[in-house]
Structure 1
């Protein structure tokens, strides 16, 4: 199964309205980042043990570790969680930037250094989320 099929299957496996909302977010991200690399992480470690929720990734970001090594990863992540949806934002150095710049404008979402969590799209300002995705895409 290729990455596109894994992504489709993962989104389709979600209960409504999460399924439709994740499809909407997937389309929005792909409109903003049409040529981006797609990723799918099933949430399992090398031994097949579940260590996180599955994640859809968009774009390419190089993580630089303090020991000098690097790792390719995605810029935007999308994942279902037990209470709603998480959008992960990677590549912003200042861990306060998301919350301070967009937190109040985003609506009913919890915003950490790299994660935006919300129950449903109705509770957030989608235009602000699009602005964040556009910002990260241009980094």
Structure 2
């Protein structure tokens, strides 16, 4: 996979995540991004993000160890990575959007944090992406439940 193809693949992941979040805007469910959530609810969702990451990595390891043909392995790894990333990003970004809404300028702040994460994922070393991920989550958990 060339660098341009990898970048397009990452953009597709973010595009699918954005479409799912848009659908969550119009449906009443636990990811309804129109309403805010408490710190406790945000904290309860983080284990599901970690679980999705661990399951995805375990599936990719299993696919690699099965020793299928080169093309089949690459396609299977790409599908698992796409599903894992979309699931993690949807749950995490929806939680951030819902949590940041407590803050008066929360919608603008969460937009900047998500765009910083996407730009760091696409164009910067991995350490910067994970730093933005940790800071964004810590900020979401650090915002008080009610803003006065």
Relative to the length of structure 2, the TM-score reads: 0.30
The structure with higher relative contact order (CA 8 Å, sep 6+) is: 2
Relative to the length of structure 1, the TM-score reads: 0.31
Write 1 or 2 for the structure with the bigger share of helix: 2
Write 1 or 2 for the structure with the bigger share of strand: 1
